[in-house]
Structure 1
Amino acid sequence: MSRLLQRLFGRLPIGWLQLTHNRTRFAAAIAGVAFANVLVFVQLGIMNSMAVATLRPYEFFRADIIMSAADANAIADGGNVARQWMLQALANPDVIAGMGLFVANVPWDRGQTDISLTTFGIDPFKQDFISPKIAADLNLLQVNDAAILDRLARGITRDEAVAIRPQTPLSFETDGRTIKAYNTFSGGGGFGGDGYMLVSDQTFLSLFPARSSAAPDHILLRTRPGTSVDEVSEQLRGQISDSSLRIRSYADAMAEDLRYQQTRRPTGVIFGFGVFIGILVGLIIIYQVLSTDVADHLREYATFKAMGYGSRFFLGIVFEEALILGVFGFIPGLIVGTTILTVMAKVTTLPLSMTLVMAASVFVGTIAVSSLSGAIATRRVAAADPADLF
């Protein structure tokens, strides 16, 4: 390693030699940096999983515009929308189709555990509004109390999900009704429920008799190909009688939902602070190691300074140490962080995974934090008089 670093820096790797002189302290420093990296990786992984889980239900549907109540900050939140506004929207020549979307959580008593399924009530005859991966099975929902179940939902075993077929449906009780799942689709547990379920709007209304077919949770609209979705949305805002409605493009609704989850919901704010705490811990650990190392070698630095070496020389040594600590701490942190996220994903069914962007950003952040810590640690040497250091 010394030869490699000597070729890399074009001089004797003083920083490496100083760090490895006390191997126990060096190992402890690497463990500290790795621990900080693990904290950041886990928090970033959870934040990313929240983003994926937030956007996942939008992937089940195909729409250009969504009409929601004024308080609908997320797809599963907010009041109802009168179906009459869909009829007004269809009067616009650029709007070619509309569909009401019902949303609610359905409990499922599994014996030892209870799970909650975010359930969407849809019109099974409007395949154009449904993802192609699901649309082929919509005819199954024409039967009363029929459902298509999320095979990745928490509490559902793999063997149980594989066995669900039109010939061998899975029956379960919820709120006094028997629901039969005739097929499955890929969803996954989220932060608002343990999985998803699709039923027809009529089955949904039988599950929630207090709800009305005239008041879905959202209205999805399809526009004529080639038209500007933003322009049509603006036209509808002036055309619809209820000015309190949120009429947005489907893409804008997704972005606003994600922003709401990350900046206004407690979970998103907590995870953001978790990332900040991880960075702060890494900064303190690296600074403490480098500051202690500088203090232990003040006499050597004084000798170099008396020989005429300038501040850039000392800064280079400490930056070398910071770079070594950052790189050597990042590698075990990446391994442990990946392992933890993999285990958490298996246990929670959340979309937790290590991504290339995460790894690259944490690596760059680790080097930046290490360099900042090194710059702070060299101030004592730069300001000192060689005569005072002996």
Structure 2
Amino acid sequence: MIFAIPLAWLQLIRERIRLLVAIAGIAFAVVLMLMQFGFRDALFKAAVRFHESLNTDIVLISPQSTALIAMRSFPRRRLYQAAGFEGVESVSPLYLNFGLWRNPINKRTRQLMVIGVDPMVVSIAVSDTPRWQDAIKLPDHVLFDAQSRAEFGPIPELYRQGQEVTTEVSGRKITVAGLFRMGANFGADGNLLTSDLNFLRLFPERNPGLIDVGLVRVQPGVNTKALARRMNAALGNDVLVMTKEEFAAFERNYWQKSTSIGFIFSLGALMGFIVGSVIVYQILYTDVTDHLAEYATLKAMGYRDVFFYGVVMQESLILSCMGYVPGFIVSFLLYIVIANATSLPVGMTVERASLVFTLTVLMCTLSGAIAMRRIQAADPADIF
């Protein structure tokens, strides 16, 4: 049996320069869509790094808070009232504020987030430093986020080499007593973790009776959502009670709906789709026009439009696959470069790769369908 080479493939490779231009154009559209979707997903993922690291089941915040970068304080006594509910295992306060970190190497300052926790309670996940709670009990001792931006200085390297790392935060001298991992986000390029007492030393203007986040651990077997609803109904209007998952969704919702960032990235992906569609349409339209005489001859011989539609659709699918592969590879490499440069969680996922591949196929198919109108309008009598 002789293998028949598809007519669509033969037509594409007949003009190799045109084929390469088409592949480059589709690859560019793929890169644009993957990068825009990647930035958008990294935004949402980085925004909830703090939330996911919390060792809690229920969270108390002020109803005036809109996001992690805009937290408002509420009375600490509300947290103690929450501790009196049946099913509560422990409670812990959290203080948040932005401080100015002085790079110990070049002396430049940069803003980072300072997190104050009760060192008697394991309220946040820390993996790099053993006995970290004892370390931050010492006056003016902090843990530095090893995944902070490089502009803060080579703090992880210096600490791991055994050097004493001292610098200033908001004008107060501090000592790095260990490392932890949380990572930068779009609101903070770096993070510090310390005790609640050290936090108040760094920010003496803060009222110790007002906290930013209240953490509640529940006993095993307790319905967390039901307990959160009871707390919300019983506590005052100056506190909002939600589960840990709802707290993360609260943050994602802010960045997605209350800012223009999510819209901008989605619009960028749409522009990539449109650019790719125009490029593929021009290529297919030109190819159809070049072979219009041959198509007219086949029409005169009795071939129906469905045959030509199949040929153009085959060309579209071939182009989408050939353009997607280099676009995927380039995007994968760019993800690695961006993740290393920004400390943002930018990485390829199966879901995103599948979505962009589907959009690429749809982009090429729609362009092929539009280009087909040239054949449908062609009359053999007019051409000859």
TM-score of the pair, normalised by structure 1: 0.91
What are the residue-to-residue correspondences of 1:373-384 with 2, within 5 Å? 373-384=367-378
Aligned to 2:215: 220
Aligned to 1:266: 260
Aligned to 1:100: 93
Q: Which of 341, 357, 361 is the equivalent residue of 1:347? A: 341
Shift of 1:364: 2.0
Distance 1:158 1:304, change over 3 A: farther
Is residue 158 of structure 2 the alignment partner of residue 163 of structure 1?
yes
Match of 2:101, SS state, is strand
Question: In 2, are the aligned partners of 1:70 and 1:78 still within 8 Å (CA)?
Answer: no
Shift of 1:348: 1.7
Match of 2:74, SS state, is coil
Aligned to 1:78: 71
Shift of 1:272: 1.6
Aligned to 1:60: 53
Distance 2:379 2:161 in 1: 84
- Segments of structure 1 that go 5 or more residues without pairing to the other structure are none
Distance 1:296 1:200, change over 3 A: same
- Segments of structure 2 that go 5 or more residues without pairing to the other structure are none
What one-letter code is carried by the residue in structure 2 that aligns with 1:190?
Answer: N
Question: In 2, are the aligned partners of 1:68 and 1:246 still within 8 Å (CA)?
Answer: yes
Distance 1:259 1:278 in 2: 25
Question: In 1, are the aligned partners of 2:126 and 2:180 still within 8 Å (CA)?
Answer: no
Aligned length: 381
Shift of 1:186: 1.8
Q: Which of 14, 20, 27 is the equivalent residue of 2:13? A: 20
Distance 1:106 1:353 in 2: 29
Match of 2:167, SS state, is strand
Question: In 2, are the aligned partners of 1:76 and 1:103 still within 8 Å (CA)?
Answer: no
Distance 1:234 1:44 in 2: 35
Shift of 1:215: 0.7
Aligned to 1:310: 304
Distance 1:101 1:157 in 2: 24
What one-letter code is carried by the residue in structure 2 that aligns with 1:153?
Answer: S
What one-letter code is carried by the residue in structure 2 that aligns with 1:221?
Answer: V
Question: In 1, are the aligned partners of 2:149 and 2:184 still within 8 Å (CA)?
Answer: yes
Q: Which of 204, 208, 230 is the equivalent residue of 1:235? A: 230
Aligned to 2:32: 39
Deviations 1:163-191 (A, max 9, x none): 32697441111222111111101222221
What one-letter code is carried by the residue in structure 1 that aligns with 2:70?
Answer: D
Distance 1:219 1:160, change over 3 A: closer
Q: Which of 323, 328, 338 is the equivalent residue of 2:322? A: 328
Shift of 1:209: 1.2
Greater CA deviation, 319-328 or 168-177?
Answer: 168-177
Greater CA deviation, 272-281 or 134-143?
Answer: 134-143
Question: In 2, are the aligned partners of 1:89 and 1:239 still within 8 Å (CA)?
Answer: no
What one-letter code is carried by the residue in structure 2 that aligns with 1:96?
Answer: E
Distance 1:320 1:356, change over 3 A: same
Q: Which of 125, 131, 138 is the equivalent residue of 1:143? A: 138
Match of 2:179, SS state, is strand
What one-letter code is carried by the residue in structure 2 that aligns with 1:68?
Answer: I
Shift of 1:147: 0.5
Shift of 1:196: 1.2
Match of 2:70, SS state, is coil
Distance 1:115 1:204, change over 3 A: same
Distance 1:78 1:130, change over 3 A: closer
Aligned to 1:246: 240
Shift of 1:80: 0.6
Shift of 1:38: 1.0
Shift of 1:109: 2.3
Deviations 1:275-310 (A, max 9, x none): 111111111111121122112221111112222222
Shift of 1:336: 1.5
Match of 2:370, SS state, is helix
Q: Which of 350, 357, 367 is the equivalent residue of 2:351? A: 357
Distance 1:245 1:308, change over 3 A: farther
Question: In 2, are the aligned partners of 1:113 and 1:155 still within 8 Å (CA)?
Answer: no
Distance 2:107 2:12 in 1: 54
Question: In 2, are the aligned partners of 1:323 and 1:371 still within 8 Å (CA)?
Answer: yes
Say what the alpha-carbon RMSD is for the aligned residues.
2.2
Greater CA deviation, 233-242 or 157-166?
Answer: 157-166
Distance 1:145 1:312 in 2: 77
Question: In 2, are the aligned partners of 1:123 and 1:201 still within 8 Å (CA)?
Answer: yes
Shift of 1:78: 2.6
Distance 1:158 1:209, change over 3 A: closer
Match of 1:225, SS state, is coil
Identical counterparts, % of pairs: 34
What are the residue-to-residue correspondences of 1:192-231 with 2, within 5 Å? 192-231=187-226
What are the residue-to-residue correspondences of 1:117-196 with 2, within 5 Å? 117-127=112-122, 129-131=123-125, 133=127, 136-155=131-150, 160-164=155-159, 168-196=163-191
Deviations 1:142-165 (A, max 9, x none): 111111111121126896413326
Distance 2:343 2:269 in 1: 22
Distance 1:333 1:113, change over 3 A: farther
Match of 1:66, SS state, is strand
Greater CA deviation, 109-118 or 199-208?
Answer: 109-118
